[in-house]
Amino acid sequence: MKASMFLLYAALCAARAVVPTNSSAGINCYNFKLDVPVTATKYVLDILPVNNNIDAVNFALDIDGRTSLNATERILGNVTISESFTLKATICTPSAENDKHIMQLLTHGLIVDSRYWDIEIDRTNHSYVLAAVNAGYTVLSYDRLGHGQSEKPDASVVQGPVELELLRVLTEMARDGSLIAGASPISPSALPSGFPAFEHVVHVGHSYGSILTAALLVAYPELSSAAILTGFTVTNSTNPTTSTAALGFEYAAANDLGRYGDRGSGYIVPATVDQIQLGFYHRDNISDLSGFSDALLAYGEYIKQPLTTGEWLSIRGLLNIVPALEFKGPLQFFLAERDFLVCGSDCKSDYDPAVLAALYPRVKSLDTYIQPDAGHGLTFQKNATAGYAVMMNWLDSQGF
């Protein structure tokens, strides 16, 4: 890590104890943990174990090889699990006079946690949560299983089908008003005595979070009033753009024992900040008005999270994400023009209207948008708020 970047990262780490996770100045936010019970299918997968960095390289080679098995070919069988998992979540609420009485449920992607949505540096210009709350929405964000402050179970459990069921139950809790019943507040937050049920829940995903949201629209279309899928699209190609090797995965505990010592076998993480830049950021030069600051790149390293080998397979075909034949709400696809992970840094023509119309035949409306000059991590870019305005205006135009 370059010296200036290291100093920025060190400063963020030093501030870890005094910067409240996912708190937002000027809006009311409640941090809590809740137990989410699910019954879900867990796949038994033919993948190499990862217990050290040599294993991590071998895992990448096994996935990326020309004759390697694809994701579905690696399914050896499945088992049904019925368990309750502890998730960390945050609810942020608008002022009474600005309240739309609509919830946005945010699902983050891989390699980050829910802080992706509520960045603690220059929050006014980067926080999606702040933009959504100021537009009148109640916002629920959560650390996905195995990430952030949520439970870190055995890596074999943390895979798409289980995470889809967790998203389903969270949505049902939001709709029936039971979200904070039995939840435990995280200091210094104090939970309100009651919390309303939400008739309308808008799902917003990023990257793998969009894949989970797309799977929800297929399996449980009635649960979503509207959806915005960012950092993700459906094209004619079924082959992922990004190789496993490109992200330089290491065994998480070997990468940073202090940060990731609570992750066991099968948890992997990009090795350096350079891989984070490759995957999430775009900047032509230091004066690029749509680019990113060095501080925001350091922040991406600061919030970096391990994923599991099962999640890496999940983005490559373990979830049924299309067609969503019964989803009837409005749907927006929101891509970054220079997204390396999704379309090799050139997303200008990545939408195929005919394909999208066939995959989502009953939607109220179907919108596509490309954020100019941005990388995969939309919230990290200097033009983030311009993108948020597009999303909020589109939702408003759809009656949400």
> Percentage of the chain with pLDDT > 70?
91
Q: What is the mean pLDDT of residues 18-24?
A: 40
Range with the poorest average pLDDT among 47-61, 99-113, 346-360:
346-360
Which band of pLDDT confidence, cut at 50, 70 and 90, is reported for residue 182?
Answer: confident
Q: What's the confidence (pLDDT) of residue 285? A: 75
Which pLDDT belongs to residue 353? 86
How many structural domains comprise the chain?
Answer: 1
Q: What is the largest CA-CA distance in the chain?
A: 59
Domain at 84, CATH number: 3.40.50.1820
User: Is 221 buried (19+), middle (13-18) or exposed (0-12) by CB count in 10 A?
Assistant: middle
Distance between CA atoms of residues 336 and 297, nearest Å: 17
CA-based end-to-end distance of the chain: 44
Tens of pLDDT, residues 95-105: 999 999 999 99
Q: What is the pLDDT of residue 101?
A: 96
φ, ψ dihedrals at 333, nearest 5°? -100, 130
Q: What rounded mean pLDDT belongs to the chain? A: 91
Q: Measuring CA to CA, which residue among 160, 175, 191 is closest to residue 89?
A: 191
Is 210's pLDDT higher than 90? yes
pLDDT (tens digit, 9 = 90+) per residue, 297-325? 999 999 999 999 999 999 988 999 989 99
Query: Scanning the structure block, which residue is given the tokens 């915005």?
Result: 228
Q: Tell me the residue length of the chain.
A: 400
Per residue in 23-82, pLDDT (tens digit) is: 445 689 999 999 999 999 999 999 999 999 999 999 999 999 999 999 999 999 999 999
Residue 238 pLDDT level (bands cut at 50, 70, 90): very low
Please determine, for residue 7, whether its predicted confidence score (pLDDT) is greater than 60: no
Name every residue whose Cβ is closer than 8 Å to that of residue 148 and which is 6 or more positions away in sequence: 21, 88, 113, 114, 115, 305
Among 9-23, 76-90, 184-198, 211-225, the minimum mean pLDDT is found in 9-23
- Domain span at residue 123? 3-397
pLDDT band at 152 (very low <50, low <70, confident <90, very high): very high
What integer pLDDT is reported at residue 44 of this predicted model? 97
- In the prediction, which pLDDT does 242 show? 75
Ranking 144-153, 179-188, 215-224 by mean pLDDT, the lowest is: 179-188
Cα(41)–Cα(18) distance, integer angstroms: 40
Task: Say how far apart CA 303 and CA 299 lie, in whole Å.
Answer: 6
- Per DSSP, 186 falls in state P
Q: Find, among 123, 119, 114, the residue nearest to 170 by Cα.
A: 114
The pair of structure tokens assigned to 176 is: 């029936």
What is the model's pLDDT at position 281?
94
| 225 or 194, which is more confident | 225
Spatial separation of the C-alpha atoms in residues 241 and 126, rounded to whole Å? 27
Q: What is the pLDDT of residue 234?
A: 83
Given a cut of 90, whether residue 348 has pLDDT beyond it is no
- CA nearest to 387, candidates 395, 376, 378: 378
Residue-level pLDDT at 8: 58
Q: Distance between CA atoms of 306 and 198, rounded to whole angstroms?
A: 32
pLDDT of residue 352: 86
CB distance 91 to 344 below 8 Å: no
**What is the pLDDT at residue 194?**
77
How far is Cα 19 from Cα 23, in angstroms, rounded to an integer? 8
Burial of 187 (0-12, 13-18, 19+ CB in 10 A): exposed
What is the reported pLDDT for 16? 47
Higher pLDDT, residue 75 or 291: 75
The alpha carbon of residue 384 and the mean position of all alpha carbons in its chain are separated, in whole angstroms, by 16
pLDDT at 9: 54
